[in-house]
């Protein structure tokens, strides 16, 4: 996979939308602590189904050994990230995270677009993702607007304990 760096207008510290113009870059292992904080802050809404943090630093490093995090850096640190894993013609998008104070500002759409571009440039023609069923009302409309379609359901692994009955909703999109 080739590294990706999106060139765009320089962001200014005075602009409240500076993250909208900031470049998106591949994460490095130096980003692990900030990525862990960002993901856990963004995924606090999963508390309806799970207790505890979404990831720890060891888990983030594990993801980095299997795929690539694309990160968007704002004036105060990481504002967003998305995980992409490519396997031949298929890719997987996960851990889309935007700092809570910037959610709803378009950064998630921008990160998904960059993840799709990254996957296409890596030779993938399909992008898959999973949504947890307790968050379907919030997340399905977002991904449907981005061109994803429901592709089935999958149970959680047996070792994953949930507070409410839940499963994965599988979604997919052709990238070509």
pLDDT of 104: 87
Domains and CATH numbers, the chain: 18-127 (3.40.630.30)
Q: Which residue has the higher pLDDT, 85 or 8?
A: 85
In the 8-state DSSP scheme, what is residue 11?
P
Q: Closest Cα to residue 41, out of 119, 98, 115, 102?
A: 98
pTM summary value: 0.85
Instruction: Report how far apart, in Å, the C-alpha atoms of 56 and of each of 35, 44, 59, 91, 163 are.
Output: 9, 14, 5, 23, 20
Give the whole-angstrom CA distance, residue 39 versus residue 135: 16
Q: What is the average pLDDT score of the chain?
A: 86
In the predicted structure, residue 126 carries a pLDDT above the cut 60: yes
pLDDT band at 15 (very low <50, low <70, confident <90, very high): very low
Give the whole-angstrom CA distance, residue 36 versus residue 54: 9
Q: Closest Cα to residue 43, out of 34, 54, 58, 32?
A: 54
- Residue appearing with tokens 């996957």: 119
pLDDT of 14: 36
């Amino acid at each position: 996979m080739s590294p990706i760096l999106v060139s765009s207008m320089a962001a200014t510290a005075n602009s409240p939308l500076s993250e909208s113009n900031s470049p998106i870059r591949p994460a490095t292992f130096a980003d692990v602590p900030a990525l862990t904080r960002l993901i856990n802050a963004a995924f606090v809404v999963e508390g309806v189904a799970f207790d505890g943090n979404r990831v720890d630093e060891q888990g983030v490093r594990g993801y980095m050994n299997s795929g690539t995090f694309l990160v968007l850096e704002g004036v105060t640190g990481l504002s967003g990230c998305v995980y992409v894993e490519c396997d031949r013609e298929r890719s997987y998008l996960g851990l889309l995270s935007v700092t809570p104070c910037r959610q709803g500002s378009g950064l998630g759409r921008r990160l998904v677009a960059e993840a799709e571009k990254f996957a296409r440039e890596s030779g993938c023609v399909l992008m898959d993702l999973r949504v947890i069923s307790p968050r379907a009302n919030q997340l399905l409309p977002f991904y449907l607007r981005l061109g994803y379609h429901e592709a089935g359901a999958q149970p959680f692994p047996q070792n994953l304990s949930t507070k409410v009955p839940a499963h994965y909703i599988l979604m997919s999109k052709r990238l070509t």
